[in-house]
Amino acid sequence: MNSTPCPPAEFTMTVQAADAHTLRVAIHGYLDYDTSDEFAPALDELLDAHAEQHGPALRHLRLDWANLTAFDSSGLSALLALRRRTHPAGITLHLHHQPTYLTRLLEVTGVMGHLTQHARGAGSPEAAIP
């Protein structure tokens, strides 16, 4: 019996557009057990670079999932960790072009509304309200 080695799962992100208030990022490949540890540091790097260039003006992080090929509970955990970073900073997550399986997972787990809840501006009096 011949065995063919499976190539490692691939994960990349590309910045599609950016201005002071909005950053649009395309997710490519797998966001799963094998790659989810790459997601947070890669997005942290993008967010830090954006803040360095524009200051704390970012209000919308738009994630384009059109080229996502796999997503599992580890990807969900990474996405929730991203929300924990962005929401207190006044950055609202927007999910675009997600495949049906991603939408279904977010709805079944009840986190779709939580992930995309409008973030209040960091430092505003409303931001202190739970």
CA-based nearest residue to 86, from 54, 112, 119:
119
pLDDT tens digits for range 95-125: 999 999 999 999 999 999 999 999 986 544 4
Task: Extract the tokens encoding 33.
Answer: 């057990």
What string of DSSP letters covers 7-23?
Answer: PPP-EEEEEEEE-SSEE
CA distances from 47 to 21, 41, 72, 124 (A): 12, 10, 24, 20
- Number of Cβ within 10 Å of residue 110's Cβ equals 8
- Are the beta carbons of 105 and 71 closer than 8 angstroms? yes
pLDDT at 93 over 80: yes
- Amino acid 21 reads H
Q: What is the pLDDT of residue 25?
A: 96
Task: Extract the tokens encoding 103.
Answer: 């939408």
Q: Using pLDDT thresholds of 50, 70 and 90, give the confidence band for residue 10.
A: confident
Note the pTM of the prediction, 2 decimals: 0.84
Question: Cα(104)–Cα(47) distance, rounded to whole angstroms?
Answer: 27
Question: Cα(29)–Cα(11) distance, rounded to whole angstroms?
Answer: 5
What percent of the chain has pLDDT above 70? 85
Q: What is the pLDDT of residue 122?
A: 56
pLDDT tens digits for range 28-55: 999 999 999 999 899 999 999 999 999 9
What is the homologous superfamily of the domain 12-121 according to CATH? STAS domain (3.30.750.24)
pLDDT at 127 over 60: no
Q: Stretch 70-90: mean pLDDT, rounded?
A: 95
Q: Stretch 80-108: mean pLDDT, rounded?
A: 95
